[in-house]
Structure 1
Amino acid sequence: MTSRRQALAGMAGAAWMWSAAMPNAASAASDRATARSLVDRMTLEEKVGQLFMIEVAGQDAFRVSEAAAALNRRRYGVATPAEVLRKYAPGGVIYFSARGDDNLASPRQIARLSDGLQRASRSATGLPLIISVDQEGGAVSRMPTPPATPQPGNMALGATWSPSDARRSYEITGAELHACGITADHAPVADVNVNPANPVIGVRSFGASPQAVSTFVQAAIKGLHRGGVAVTAKHFPGHGDTDTDSHFGLPRITHSRSQLDAIDLPPFRAAVAAGVDLIMTAHISVPALDPTLVPATMSHAVVTGLLREELGFDGLIVTDALDIQGASKQFPPDKAAVTALAAGVDMLVLSPDLPLAHAAVVDAVRSGRISASRLDASVVRILSHKIRRGLFTDVLGDGFEDRAERVVGRPEFRSDVVAITARSTTLVKNDNGALPIRTGARGVLVTGSDSVAVSRLAASFTSRGHAVTSLDAGATPDRGRIDEVVAAAAAADLVVVATSGLTVGGGKDAGVAQVGLVRALLAAKTRVVVVGVRTPYDINRFPDAPVYLATYGNGADALDHAVQVIVGEHGPSGRLPVSIPVAGDPSQTLFPIGHGLRY
């Protein structure tokens, strides 16, 4: 067995060195031929293992805490990540900082974990792992920050209207991931966020213009490739027009085929043209594409008919997490794995019951429900990807822990991202030239619904010598709390109120308490600046507010720059990447795409 594993690794390593010097078409053919020869030497169980991208608990491949060991035993029946790899030989691992996995603590530790996992996988099968993470930046960031460079996120990048800024942002992300031994990023989001009530995409999208999103997706792909990692475009065929969160239900996209072609599909076509490595399917039903209403992940018409055949994508098709309810509510682990594979998916991400799902696929192939050729086609693609990305060679090498520590959070990375974030701040409303504001002796009251934003805004004003009172109003302030904030406002020259996601989830009652706070402050005739620290749509709930800034996130850099704009240290330059509709009448536009004021 050992000699066979060594032969597998040796063949693929030689193929990678050979194909690296060849033209792209010839290289791809060579990779595919080598992968085919590797597949011919694998057992059925080994092939099925390659289909799965799993999570493992712990910060080391070989030694973990008792809590991590208990979690691994509950999931897989063994204690350490290395033992999991030996038992199931998965094709990939995805890192998390929550969910109990606790994989991500520091650059040195992450690099050590990556190296250990690769050594354990090669020892078990002769095959390397795809090691991945959801590092989108902004709202979805897994890497420990600091020291990792905090990125502004996609909608903030969209507000810069600068593809070069997006490319640089993602290049930094890619370089930091690569230094830690992570081989693939499940980013960027390619969804076009045309629904202000979208509870799961929102600021994770570059915006509402299909053309702009397409351009930014291509910039992100170039940036991550420059940084040294593979790229995933998600969530196919487009998750941008829904008010249902696929983590908790199955959204239905009601776009016609012509609307899909005009709105949702252009960024994915652009991603394919830019050489994206992976495309992640969405757990959404799209009647115009498949009238059976199964999730796109489980639909042969969507995965094979549209993505593989019509769009011509020949890279890896991976599922969104199979443990979220958009998939698991209708498809239990065994059925989900078999159905997604039959639809044309290559890799199954986060099956909620790996032993059951693995056994189900093995049984489906043995019984003929899944053909051997269908299985082999996916495994060939997976191994071709690993050859093409050089994963059969020594990924990290000597001194890898020191290198990870040097690369992650480099000063030049930090300064570049601070400048990019500054270019995203959008002044949406500034009646009568209210900004910039110079505060007097009584100072500033900072309040609002986002406790992190309130704290960071207050710290930013304090650092500039202002007398600051900070009152966290909470997400749903009651009448007594609102009265307390209004009373405090009477003693301030300026009130800065942070709002957060008032439109998310839809319905006329969304954000009622937060809106009540803002309106009470406006009625008090106090100088009020509203800062929307999540999606930029909040202004449509109080359109009479005289000043409104959008930051697209509650990161420290974004909020510090908002303060700079408020006090006149730096002018605003961002422009809306989405349109803001009139509340209650989405056919009417309050502020159009591209709107942004200067002073």
Structure 2
Amino acid sequence: MRSDLAALARGVIGVGFTGTRGADAPLEELRAFAPGAVILFARNVGMLDDLRDLVASLRALAAPAPLITVDQEGGRVARLRDGVAPLPSAMAVGASGDPALAEGLGTLLGRDLARLGISVDFAPVADLALQPASLVIGTRAYGDDPQLVAAFAGAFARGLERGGVAAAVKHFPGHGATADDSHVGLPRIDASSATLRARDLVPFARAIAARDASIVMTAHVVVDAFDRERPATLSPAILRGLLREELGFNGVVSTDCMEMDAIANGVGTVRGAVQALAAGADLVMISHRLDLARAAVDAIAAAVEDGTLPRARLEEAHARVHALRARFAHLTPFDGELDPALPLEAAQRAVTAVRGDVRLHAGKPVTVISFEGSAVDNAAASGTAARAVEEPSLSSALRRRRWKSEVMRVPLEPDADELDLLLEHVPRLGDREFVVVTRNAHLHDAQRAAVARILALVPGALIVSARGPFDAACWPQARRVACLYGDQPLSFEGGADVLSGRVAATGALPVRLPEQAAVR
């Protein structure tokens, strides 16, 4: 009896591990565990041939193979760097105004993932970018308008599934109305039910009605209007009542990682696994520690034995996960024609001229003043391994277009001495273009003040908001402002094409900014 229950429990758990090749992964432990899914992070990604070997080894663990999953959204959340098309952020794609572009990008990425043997992409983000202070959602969202986000999230999900993998819309019923990060705490949303139905739920409802995605991933967020006591991941009212009964979703409901602090520091990962299943989740992600996954198996089996968790609920969850595994036991990557230049086109079309002419003056040398450094980004950093990499640079992208350009790197929060040194140097550089690359200056007082002082010296400097677009509201005196929606290499390449005049700036803001940032 207990062994039978344990097998069912293992089949509804997704696990993670350390190792970049089959030879250094804990394959015997994984084979003995027989998980329903395995998740890959950057810690699992080395050379491309090693990744192929690792995925093949994981797929050989059982028949049907466990779901091989990854968070590959594009922009700053991209676990894989080789073997798949690099994509700009969701917000960059939203700025293009073209859902067909999102579907094409999804198809391209889905095909590449399927070719690697990966069967599930935990994307797209269907949350709304409603909180400028949010570091966990931000540019991962397509925008702040429910209809826009619904159109783009649905299109990207359709593209992924057409490409050959299962898509997962996340984080239900919406993480975008709070600036708090569920990786490090338990966020709470106090909007009314009517507001949530007219706003946050719209992208999920549209994707579910259209059957765009095979999976819905839950949010570790308390949504007062639906359940004041429990985060959505643990809430029967939200998972059964809202998602299953009201919206009619009949696919796999996956949790976000149960080791995130919103769960781990509350009910706990192990108890949370039982409660998530009881609430209506099918796939419980325990993404880092196999010992916690094993403890969760014991807790699930014990809960069935003592009646806390109905056996029928566990069997239902297992059947849904198993059916998805069977569906992707043999992957069929899209075999039609796809344009490999589509990601760069998306990055180009994202560039938004918020104010003034953002093209550089031909023949003038350029100094890029780039605010850089470490910032808390738990979504991007989860499961990363330390690596030495050079920061992407707009200046380097301009030089590749034969533009004479140099870069001055400044901390995200420069101190007084660093700023004084910079301001002393700027007037000595003579007649040239100044491009100021900001990174979330709306959240960094010293950066915001530094840019204001640069503008006092060089009123015609071009401000380039390289992460969220909210920096565009910080300096109403700035004559020229552009938004890229990302500071990955692809975004800088697209930005350099626009700044150098190769293509026009055609992007439109997919979020509302304060009035002082209105286009003039």
TM-score by length of 2: 0.91
Q: 1:526 to 1:453 in 2, by over 3 A?
A: farther
Counterpart CA distance in 2 for 1:453 and 1:112 is 28
Correspondence for 1:95 = 40
Correspondence for 1:386 = 325
2:359 to 433, 436, 457: 436
Correspondence for 1:281 = 218
Q: Where do residues 202-241 of structure 1 align in structure 2 (5 Å cutoff)?
A: 202-241=138-177
Shift of 1:265: 0.5
Shift of 1:469: 2.9
Question: After alignment, is 177-186 or 555-564 more displaced?
Answer: 555-564
Secondary structure in 2 matching 1:449: strand
Contact 1:456 1:560 in 2 (8 A): no
Counterpart CA distance in 1 for 2:490 and 2:322 is 41
Correspondence for 2:378 = none
Correspondence for 2:45 = 104
Counterpart CA distance in 1 for 2:266 and 2:144 is 30
2:503 to 570, 582, 585: 570
Q: Where do residues 176-325 of structure 1 align in structure 2 (5 Å cutoff)?
A: 176-275=112-211, 276-292=213-229, 294-325=230-261
Q: 1:137 to 1:499 in 2, by over 3 A?
A: same
Counterpart CA distance in 2 for 1:263 and 1:210 is 5
Contact 1:445 1:489 in 2 (8 A): no
Residues 383-404 of structure 1: CA distance to partner in whole angstroms, max 9, x if unpaired?
12223x241x5x59xxxxxx99
Q: Whose radius of gyration is greater, 1 or 2?
A: 1
Counterpart CA distance in 1 for 2:265 and 2:481 is 41
Counterpart CA distance in 2 for 1:455 and 1:271 is 35
Instruction: Specify the code of the residue in structure 2 equivalent to 1:154.
Output: A
1:337 to 268, 273, 276: 273
Q: 1:455 to 1:321 in 2, by over 3 A?
A: closer
Counterpart CA distance in 2 for 1:52 and 1:289 is 26
The alignment status of 1:364 with 2:290, answered yes or no, reads no
Shift of 1:274: 2.5
Q: 1:456 to 1:265 in 2, by over 3 A?
A: same
Shift of 1:440: 4.9
Secondary structure in 2 matching 1:132: strand
Q: 1:543 to 1:83 in 2, by over 3 A?
A: same
Counterpart CA distance in 1 for 2:358 and 2:27 is 58
Q: 1:558 to 1:86 in 2, by over 3 A?
A: closer
Instruction: Specify the code of the residue in structure 1 equivalent to 2:412.
Output: A
Counterpart CA distance in 1 for 2:358 and 2:343 is 25
Shift of 1:482: 1.5
Q: Where do residues 139-154 of structure 1 align in structure 2 (5 Å cutoff)?
A: 139-145=76-82, 147-154=83-90
Q: Where do residues 150-165 of structure 1 align in structure 2 (5 Å cutoff)?
A: 150-165=86-101
Instruction: Specify the code of the residue in structure 2 equivalent to 1:88.
Output: F
Name structure 2 gaps, 5 residues minimum. Answer: 374-388
Residues 194-223 of structure 1: CA distance to partner in whole angstroms, max 9, x if unpaired?
121122101000101100111111111210
Counterpart CA distance in 2 for 1:354 and 1:254 is 32
2:450 to 507, 517, 532: 517
Question: After alignment, is 49-58 or 553-562 more displaced?
Answer: 553-562
Q: 1:51 to 1:231 in 2, by over 3 A?
A: same
Secondary structure in 2 matching 1:573: coil
1:355 to 294, 311, 316: 294
Instruction: Specify the code of the residue in structure 1 equivalent to 2:511.
Output: V
2:57 to 116, 121, 135: 116
Shift of 1:128: 2.0
Counterpart CA distance in 1 for 2:106 and 2:315 is 33
The alignment status of 1:470 with 2:393, answered yes or no, reads no
Shift of 1:437: 3.0
Aligned residues: 498
Counterpart CA distance in 2 for 1:570 and 1:217 is 26
Correspondence for 2:424 = 487
Instruction: Specify the code of the residue in structure 2 equivalent to 1:192.
Output: L
Counterpart CA distance in 2 for 1:559 and 1:185 is 25
Counterpart CA distance in 2 for 1:453 and 1:440 is 28
Q: Flag the structure with more relative contact order, 1 or 2, with Cα contacts below 8 A and sequence separation at least 6.
A: 2
Q: 1:59 to 1:437 in 2, by over 3 A?
A: closer
Secondary structure in 2 matching 1:578: coil
Question: After alignment, is 279-288 or 519-528 more displaced?
Answer: 519-528
Contact 2:358 2:482 in 1 (8 A): no
Instruction: Specify the code of the residue in structure 2 equivalent to 1:266.
Output: V
Residues 241-275 of structure 1: CA distance to partner in whole angstroms, max 9, x if unpaired?
11111111111111100011011001101111232
Instruction: Specify the code of the residue in structure 2 equivalent to 1:485.
Output: L
Counterpart CA distance in 2 for 1:120 and 1:249 is 35
Residues 299-354 of structure 1: CA distance to partner in whole angstroms, max 9, x if unpaired?
11111111111111111111111111111110212211111111111111026511
Secondary structure in 2 matching 1:313: coil
Q: 1:94 to 1:425 in 2, by over 3 A?
A: same
TM-score by length of 1: 0.79
Secondary structure in 2 matching 1:121: coil
Name structure 1 gaps, 5 residues minimum. Answer: 1-39, 65-79, 397-402, 504-509, 583-588
Residues 444-493 of structure 1: CA distance to partner in whole angstroms, max 9, x if unpaired?
21112136997521112323444333211111111222222223322141
Contact 1:427 1:548 in 2 (8 A): yes
2:393 to 444, 456, 465: 456
Contact 2:348 2:497 in 1 (8 A): no
Percent identity (aligned): 33
Contact 1:149 1:413 in 2 (8 A): no
Correspondence for 2:347 = 421
Counterpart CA distance in 2 for 1:247 and 1:435 is 37
Contact 1:338 1:361 in 2 (8 A): yes
Correspondence for 1:16 = none
Q: 1:284 to 1:86 in 2, by over 3 A?
A: same
Instruction: Specify the code of the residue in structure 2 equivalent to 1:480.
Output: D
Counterpart CA distance in 1 for 2:71 and 2:56 is 19
Shift of 1:105: 2.3
Q: 1:383 to 1:580 in 2, by over 3 A?
A: same
Shift of 1:526: 4.9
Contact 1:322 1:336 in 2 (8 A): yes
